[in-house]
Amino acid sequence: MTIETGKLALLAADSERAQEAAAEIREQGDFVPLAEADVAVVLGGDGFMLQTLHSMLDQGRVIPAFGLNLGTVGFLMNRLTRSRSLAERVSRAQPVAVKPLCMKAHTHGGEVREYHAINEVSLLRETRQTAKLEVSVNGKRRIAELSADGVLVATPAGSTAYNFSANGPILPLTSNMLALTPISAFRPRRWRGAILPDHYEIGFRVIEPDKRPVSAVADQKELRDIDEVTVSIDTSRTLTLLFDKGKTLEERIVAEQFVT
């Protein structure tokens, strides 16, 4: 599939490397503000890419994003190379659709907030005391009391990030599955999590929220002192990441399972 480059926006992280690369790339052609662009060129690391995608979700205008890695891991990015022009790389790039999670959280103070997550939604204990959570799937209680440091729900795109570090499974990008992964579970000790269809809704209720407060984090957005959280795929929104041919996110997720 060929991407019509159209108008490009150039967004760069605050790091010195990203700013220097942006100054050089601007000499290749004209760039427009994000609100007028057809494709966003993102310079930085995975964190800055997530920040950019969230900004587009919040503003209600989502366009394809082509990342160039000037960070550390760069799992969501392409390599910075000068072998071809940027416009040519974008036009030949392969699109990958990513479906974000929607987290709806009720706080102990009565607030209701909704946030999106591209990688994962995680519930984490706020104090030294273990969090106690009731876990339900599609309204049916599956675990009456999970005692743990926390629990997370990861998308396939995010399954190689925090989820993998918590010993969760790596999910193929086209699997249409979600990973439900405990974080340092104490009880039930043998529960290692679950793989669920992505059209399921996953619910959490905090047990003893006054004594054992819990925060909810949707990628980079945190909400403290929660009582209940529901997590589901937002079917109304789809993000598009662009990758050089043969270097797609799906290939990277597969390759990650063979790293020794």
139 Rama class: left (phi>0) / alpha (psi -120 to 50) / beta: left
Residues 107 and 227 in one domain: yes
Residues 182 and 58 in one domain: no
pLDDT at 233 over 50: yes
DSSP letter, residue 78: B
| pLDDT (0 to 100) of residue 127 | 96
Q: How far apart are CA 248 and CA 229, in angstroms?
A: 32
Residues 94 and 106 in one domain: no
**Do 150 and 139 form a contact (C-beta atoms < 8 A)?**
no
| pLDDT (0 to 100) of residue 223 | 97
Residues 108 and 141 in one domain: yes
CATH number at residue 220: 2.60.200.30
Residue 166 forms part of a structural domain = yes
Residues 22 and 114 in one domain: no
CATH number at residue 43: 3.40.50.10330
pLDDT by residue (tens digit) across 46-95? 999 999 999 999 888 899 999 999 988 888 999 988 767 888 899 999 99
Domain that holds residue 132: 101-233
Residue 3 forms part of a structural domain = no
pLDDT by residue (tens digit) across 104-132? 999 999 999 999 999 999 999 999 999 99
Residues 129 and 204 in one domain: yes
Residue 176 forms part of a structural domain = yes
pLDDT by residue (tens digit) across 161-220? 999 999 999 999 889 999 999 999 999 988 999 999 999 999 999 999 999 999 999 998
| pLDDT (0 to 100) of residue 195 | 98
For the whole model, what pTM was predicted?
Answer: 0.88
Q: How far apart are CA 90 and CA 179, in angstroms?
A: 31
Residues 50 and 120 in one domain: no
**Per-residue confidence at 5, pLDDT binned at 50, 70, 90?**
low
| pLDDT (0 to 100) of residue 83 | 67
Element holding 131 (H helix, E strand)? strand 131-137
46 catalytic residue (yes or no): yes
Residue 218 forms part of a structural domain = yes
Domain total for the chain?
2
Binding residues for NAD(+), as ranges, are: 46-47, 119-120, 149, 157, 160-165
| pLDDT (0 to 100) of residue 2 | 42
| Local structure of 230: helix, strand or coil | strand
Query: If we measure between CA atoms, which residue out of 21, 68, 19 comes closest to residue 42?
Result: 68
| pLDDT (0 to 100) of residue 181 | 98
Residues 23 and 34 in one domain: yes
Residue 53 forms part of a structural domain = yes
pLDDT at 3 over 50: no
Residues 190 and 217 in one domain: yes
Residues 109 and 223 in one domain: yes
**Per-residue confidence at 1, pLDDT binned at 50, 70, 90?**
very low
Q: Which of 46, 198, 225, 234 is catalytic?
A: 46
**Per-residue confidence at 151, pLDDT binned at 50, 70, 90?**
very high
Residues 152 and 215 in one domain: yes
Residue 50 forms part of a structural domain = yes
Query: If we measure between CA atoms, which residue out of 135, 144, 181 comes closest to residue 159?
Result: 181
β-bridge pairing 177-187 and 239-243: unpaired
Residue 2 forms part of a structural domain = no
Residues 75 and 174 in one domain: no
Q: How far apart are CA 79 and CA 13, in angstroms?
A: 16
Query: If we measure between CA atoms, which residue out of 34, 42, 41, 83 comes closest to residue 61?
Result: 34
Residue 87 forms part of a structural domain = yes
pLDDT at 250 over 90: no
